[in-house]
A and B are shown apart, each in its own frame.
Chain A
Amino acid sequence: GIQVEQSPPDLILQEGANSTLRCNFSDSVNNLQWFHQNPWGQLINLFYIPSGTKQNGRLSATTVATERYSLLYISSSQTTDSGVYFCAVESTGTASKLTFGTGTRLQVTL
């Protein structure tokens, strides 16, 4: 099946810093989503982005489907950004089955 790798696995930032999280996938995809998992376990949708670039406030994402990677940018980080960020993909022919990466654990300190 499709492989999804995320880097870095852990990231510690000071408040106000910027960061880039990367997601590489091994096959073509119909769907790519970025999620933030809060300390209580809730997965919160950040972006649905199988290709192209999107922005939402301090967050933006870019997926280059032909090169099989996606990037999540966090600017001016805040302590509330702490948590685990997951990339999940749906490969062609596996309708709605998301394959998750292992996540990037982000800690934003004061």
Chain B
Amino acid sequence: KAGVTQTPRYLIKTRGQQVTLSCSPISGHRSVSWYQQTPGQGLQFLFEYFSETQRNKGNFPGRFSGRQFSNSRSEMNVSTLELGDSALYLCASSVSLGTDTQYFGPGTRLTVL
């Protein structure tokens, strides 16, 4: 079974631009979560989607948004990019909500200049 895939793997943007990242979960998995990893803050939860609905949200500004499609694929969007948004963005999928093993994709490394 194929693992979690994320596209693109690398991105370079400039301040003020917006960016969209994509995540395809493992087949049969319906829950998708997003995390941001930076050297200063470590790994932090962004949000989680299940059945096309946001179920949980971390402590990030409204510039960070996401959505999930009927095939469970998810996208996250960051608008008005800031230098501090440079990070590794990781997507995880699990079969369902809660109490379940989460499997991570390879990540998208975003650099904001």
Contact = CB atoms under 8 A, between A and B. Distances in A.
A86 to B, nearest CB: 7
B56 A35 contact: no
Main DSSP-derived SS at the A contact region: strand
Interface residues of A, number: 24
Nearest to B45: A97
Contact of A95 (B55, B101, B103, B107): B55
Nearest to A44: B104
Contacts of B104: 35, 42-45
B12 to A, nearest CB: 16
Main DSSP-derived SS at the B contact region: strand
B19 interface: no
Interface stretch (B64-72, B75-83, B92-100): B92-100
B102 interface: yes
A45 B42 CA distance: 18
B31 A41 contact: no
Interface string A80-98: 0000001010100011111
Contact of A31 (B33, B50, B99): B99
Contacts of B107: 41-42
B106 A98 contact: no
A7 B88 CA distance: 23
